[in-house]
Amino acid sequence: MAERLYDTDRSNSPSSNGLTVRWPVAGATKLANEDTGQAIRILGRHIVTVQPTGTFGATPKNVIMEGSVVAEDGPFALLKDIDGNTAQIASAGIISVRDSVEWIRPRIEAGTSAQIEVFMRVQSP
C-alpha cells in the first residue's frame, strides 16, 4: 500500500475555473492494490467528475473516492455519486461526485493486480 502523488493541469481547461487532477504524477508507478492517491484540497462548491483508466486486474476491484472536511490526513469517508450510491468504479468509466468536501482522494480496493491512473475534473458551477 502506497500513497501516490498527484499533478494538476489547467492548460486543457477552456476556462480558468476548472482543474484536471491526475494520480499518479505522469511517469510514476500507477495505483495498484490498496494504494491511495495523495489528497488534494478543493475549497468551495464544485462539480467533480472522476475517470479511472488502465488495467483493473483479473478480479476487478473498485476505485473508491474518499473525502474529508477535517484535514489532509483525514479521517476520510466514502463519497457518494450524484445518484446517492458510493462513488466507486470497477472498470473504466466516469462518475460524478455529489458530496462537497475540502479534501478528496482515490483509493484502490485490496485484492487486485490493477495498474490504474485516476483523472479528476474539478469545475466551478
The CATH number of whichever domain residue 15 belongs to comes to 2.60.120
Let me know: does 108 contact 116? Beta carbons within 8 Å: yes
Domain count, the chain: 1
CA–CA separation, 104 vs 119, rounded Å? 12
Q: What is the pLDDT of residue 56?
A: 78
38 touches 123 (CB < 8 A)? no
What is the full per-residue pLDDT of the chain (125 aa) written as tens digits?
A: 799 999 998 665 555 678 899 999 888 889 888 899 999 999 877 889 999 998 877 666 689 999 999 999 989 999 999 999 999 888 888 999 999 999 999 998 876 667 889 999 998 77
Q: What is the DSSP letter of 18?
A: E
Domain containing 113 equals 3-123
Tell me what pLDDT residue 59 has: 65
